[in-house]
A and B are shown apart, each in its own frame.
Chain A
Amino acid sequence: MLRRTFNAMLAASALTLSLAASAGAAEITAPVTAEEVAALGDVTLRVWADAGEETMLAKLVPLYEETYPNVTVELTLKGWGDLMGTVVNAMNSNTPPDVTNGNQGFAIMGTMVRAQLIRPLDDFIAAYGIDAGLPASGFASMRWNEDGTAWGEGPVYGMGGATQPLGLFYNKAKLEELGIEPPESIADLEAALATASEAGELPIMLGNAAQYPLGSHVLGILIDMYSGVDEVNGWIAGNEGASFDMPGVRKALETLEAWGEAGYFGQGYDGRSLDDAVAAYGEGEGVFFLGGSFNGARLAAVDPDAFGYTLLRGESGEYVTTGTFGTPWHISSKTQVEPAALAFLGMMLSEDFAQAYADVSRLPNANLETVTPTGSMHEAQLAAARALFADGEFVGYLDWATPTMQRTMGTQAQMLLAGRTDVDGFIAAVQDDWQAYQDERAEQ
């Protein structure tokens, strides 16, 4: 009986899906008009978002409700971990959010594409001109094949509002004290770290209690420095025959290990939370901070001019960094208010709204060239993002590779720095995780 009920449920949901798919099949060729939204009558637009989007949405929602007075936005904000744990099931329910934040990679976006829970956005992007002036490589992580088993090519299923490249923050006053110029390349950084360490300063502020960001962001930046973009992205995407045992990865791990041995991360970083680390760095502890540009908003709130930010040129001489167009936004394939949902994203990603992102020290994809910064650090971040968009390259996040990779990398990085594994052991553990998942994908 159990089995039968279950099959019946599956059949029912498949039916709903196909109905929804046929209902939402209408592609748009021009931006949704106010009349089209008004034709929906009085409706509610359900939106789920990461808490990091709160300040942006506080500006967007009133503006949107003013423009489309027949729509009421029902906003649900969630912490990142909570959002990741619930968004897929919510999108699978009968009353899913119409618009939601998600995440790249197999576990979240892949599952939603496979189950046909989200609407392809190519028509929307073309109609609103969202991709104008943006590097095509930034869309790779949003493109999926129809089965949701491989990304990099296929329709675009999501789009973010503000880019978040990983980069290097530096404390301006401390650099001046130490007589160091802001580093521009990995070689500059290595020299600066040694100088800072000799002078008795904490070279890098790190808070890794949640096994993050050492094995993801810090290691990610190092891998970007020594590796080719395509080989790393190919490995993350699970291309056949790819291996984590690449010379660039090896060199990055050796560097990380050496930094640990030299004491560049100081002591007690595995017992300090990332939040505490950002706060301590804001108060002047530590010379450098390696991480996502999104940490800048908090630092700018402390003092908009005290810190600098830069991307680093890798051994190839190019700006290479882990990053995306930001946390992706999706539209449910089951939404009953599609015009309202499209209009919401259209407004959020428009050039007219870009300054609202910039006002909270974020880096909007739209109008990146012309928005007004909040201070000198934000200006440096904007410059870095512009340089990246102009001629740099995006590398994916390593943890997209498999659903368990975040844990594996985080664990291994802590072990590497504690001397409990070596570079070979690290690579083997990561590749084992990767291989196990590729085997599983092949079965799907």
Chain B
Amino acid sequence: MSASPAAQADTESRRPERAAGNAQRFAWHHLFYLAPGLVLYALFCLWPLVQTLQFSFQRWDGITEPRWVGWRNYLSIFTDPQTLTVFGHGLIMIFFYAVLPVLIGLLIVAIMTRVRIRLLAVFRTVLFLPQILATVVVAVAWRWIYAYDGPINAFLSAIGLGHLSRAWLGDFDTALVSVGLIGTWINFGLCMVLFIGGAQKIGRELYEAARLDGAGPFQEFMAVTLPGLRGEISIALVLTVTNALRNFDIVWNTTSGGPGTSTLVPSYLIYEGAFITRNVGFAAAASVVLTLLILVLTGVITRALRQRD
């Protein structure tokens, strides 16, 4: 991708000397360079996509001969209340995986633009750590934190709120929120690092101007920091929303979708269909719906937050 503007500049600079036909030859030349990447991409990304689309119209156990069932798999996704709830959980996850981390990241940056923080590098590294940790490790750690005899309940008992203690991941009322908050913890470091980088690019003179105009911390944030971070917010949201909808590992390693079906998410449904219940057609249809959902949402986000120059 990055080659194309350079190529254009190159072509333009040569144009006075050479015939226009050369530009044609140049394009082929570049395609040749693209070919290895394109072949790999087509083989391992586009072709499976096409296959998934094909499977989604079949009833197939993954082994024996598939049967064509038309729209039946899609119909069952949109008519089965259970499946719709599962996709609903995916949307709820967006709040915990994307919205909350972005808000927390912005809050940290807002503080940092006003207050000088010592040991910023250490601070940043520690908060970014959850991003680097393997999610299995994160899940196991949080399973312990949320356990009935874990530290959260110990703390609650210590401050006289023992009646609130419960197995946070095993309770119908709290499991989804508890799983979601693990996602928040994982993702806010990423948002923060993106925003800190972005904030450092905002000119100091803008802040000085705002302060000269008598802006308070809140007004300064709204008028200078927030508009300056538009691009970073867009990137953060695209990454975290995708992460939210694809969420599988945390659920797999904490609740397996339970209790009941209260933490079942679309990816889990897809995994079960493809590997456990051997209903590959349904899993494929759910994948297609999930992919479209992610495409539409990220499309809307990038469009809404596009830089207007």
Which A residues are within 8 Å of any B CB, using their own CB?
A: 2, 10, 84-86, 88-89, 92, 107, 111-112, 114-115, 117, 208-211, 267-273, 403-404, 406-407, 410-411, 414-415, 418, 420, 440, 443
Known: A111-B278, A403-B279, A414-B258. A271 touches B170 (CB 8 A): yes
CB pair A85–B275 under 8 Å, yes or no, is: yes
A323 to B65 alpha-carbon distance, docked (Å): 33
Q: How far is the CB of B248 from chain A (nearest CB, A)?
A: 13
A86 to B63 alpha-carbon distance, docked (Å): 12
- B246 within 8 Å of A (CB atoms): no
CB pair B63–A115 under 8 Å, yes or no, is: yes
CB pair A271–B65 under 8 Å, yes or no, is: no
CB pair A411–B148 under 8 Å, yes or no, is: no
Q: List 12 A-B contacts (CB under 8 A).
A: A84-B275, A88-B62, A89-B63, A107-B276, A107-B277, A111-B61, A208-B170, A271-B167, A272-B148, A407-B272, A420-B260, A443-B67
User: Which listed residue, B50, B64, B65, B167, touches A272 by the CB 8 Å rule?
Assistant: B167
- B89 within 8 Å of A (CB atoms): no
**Given the complex, which residues of B lie within 8 Å of A406, measured CB to CB?**
276
**Given the complex, which residues of B lie within 8 Å of A209, measured CB to CB?**
143, 169-170, 254-256, 258
Q: How far is the CB of B173 from chain A (nearest CB, A)?
A: 9
CB pair A418–B172 under 8 Å, yes or no, is: yes
CB pair A88–B257 under 8 Å, yes or no, is: no
CB pair A270–B64 under 8 Å, yes or no, is: no
Not counting A88-B278, A268-B149, a sample of 4 additional A-B residue pairs whose C-beta atoms are within 8 angstroms of each other reads A88-B62, A267-B148, A271-B170, A272-B148
A414 to B171 alpha-carbon distance, docked (Å): 10
A112 to B148 alpha-carbon distance, docked (Å): 42
- B22 within 8 Å of A (CB atoms): no
- A10 nearest in chain B by CB position: B65
CB pair A111–B256 under 8 Å, yes or no, is: no
Q: How far is the CB of A325 from chain B (nearest CB, A)?
A: 23
- B261 within 8 Å of A (CB atoms): yes
The main secondary structure of chain A at its interface with chain B is helix
A343 to B101 alpha-carbon distance, docked (Å): 59
CB pair B143–A418 under 8 Å, yes or no, is: no
CB pair A404–B277 under 8 Å, yes or no, is: yes
CB pair B168–A271 under 8 Å, yes or no, is: yes
The main secondary structure of chain B at its interface with chain A is loop
CB pair B170–A2 under 8 Å, yes or no, is: no
- B154 within 8 Å of A (CB atoms): no
**Given the complex, which residues of A lie within 8 Å of B261, measured CB to CB?**
411
**Given the complex, which residues of B lie within 8 Å of A112, measured CB to CB?**
63
Q: How far is the CB of A234 from chain B (nearest CB, A)?
A: 22
**Given the complex, which residues of B lie within 8 Å of A414, measured CB to CB?**
172, 258-260
- B147 within 8 Å of A (CB atoms): yes
Which B residues are within 8 Å of any A CB, using their own CB?
A: 50, 54, 59, 61-65, 67, 143, 146-149, 166-172, 254-261, 272, 275-279
Q: How far is the CB of B99 from chain A (nearest CB, A)?
A: 26
Closest 5 CB pairs of A and B: A268-B148, A271-B167, A270-B170, A271-B170, A268-B167
Known: A114-B64, A407-B272. A269 touches B170 (CB 8 A): yes
User: Which listed residue, B54, B59, B149, touches A2 by the CB 8 Å rule?
Assistant: B54
CB pair A107–B169 under 8 Å, yes or no, is: no
Q: How far is the CB of B164 from chain A (nearest CB, A)?
A: 13
CB pair A272–B278 under 8 Å, yes or no, is: no
CB pair B147–A88 under 8 Å, yes or no, is: no
**Given the complex, which residues of A lie within 8 Å of B59, measured CB to CB?**
440, 443
Known: A107-B276, A415-B260. A115 touches B167 (CB 8 A): no
Q: How far is the CB of B60 from chain A (nearest CB, A)?
A: 11
Known: A267-B148, A403-B276. A418 touches B65 (CB 8 A): no
Q: How far is the CB of A88 from chain B (nearest CB, A)?
A: 6
CB pair B166–A211 under 8 Å, yes or no, is: no
Known: A267-B166, A273-B143. A85 touches B276 (CB 8 A): yes
**Given the complex, which residues of B lie within 8 Å of A92, measured CB to CB?**
62-63
CB pair A271–B277 under 8 Å, yes or no, is: no
Known: A111-B61, A209-B169, A210-B256. A271 touches B147 (CB 8 A): yes
| Most chain A beta carbons < 10 A, residue from B50, B59, B67, B172 | B172
- B150 nearest in chain A by CB position: A271
**Given the complex, which residues of A lie within 8 Å of B167, measured CB to CB?**
267-272
Q: How far is the CB of B128 from chain A (nearest CB, A)?
A: 29
- B166 nearest in chain A by CB position: A268
- B261 nearest in chain A by CB position: A411
CB pair A268–B170 under 8 Å, yes or no, is: yes
Q: How far is the CB of A8 from chain B (nearest CB, A)?
A: 13
Q: How far is the CB of A281 from chain B (nearest CB, A)?
A: 14
Known: A88-B278, A407-B272, A411-B261. A271 touches B256 (CB 8 A): no
Q: How far is the CB of B83 from chain A (nearest CB, A)?
A: 12
A71 to B309 alpha-carbon distance, docked (Å): 72
User: Which listed residue, B50, B172, B278, touches A107 by the CB 8 Å rule?
Assistant: B278
Q: How far is the CB of A78 from chain B (nearest CB, A)?
A: 13
- B66 nearest in chain A by CB position: A6
User: Which listed residue, A10, A267, A410, touches B258 by the CB 8 Å rule?
Assistant: A410
Q: How far is the CB of B38 from chain A (nearest CB, A)?
A: 19
Q: How far is the CB of A339 from chain B (nearest CB, A)?
A: 27
A320 to B169 alpha-carbon distance, docked (Å): 35
CB pair A111–B172 under 8 Å, yes or no, is: no
A267 to B254 alpha-carbon distance, docked (Å): 17
| Most chain B beta carbons < 10 A, residue from A115, A208, A267, A420 | A267
| Most chain A beta carbons < 10 A, residue from B59, B61, B65, B166 | B61
CB pair A272–B170 under 8 Å, yes or no, is: yes
CB pair A271–B146 under 8 Å, yes or no, is: yes
**Given the complex, which residues of A lie within 8 Å of B62, measured CB to CB?**
88-89, 92, 111
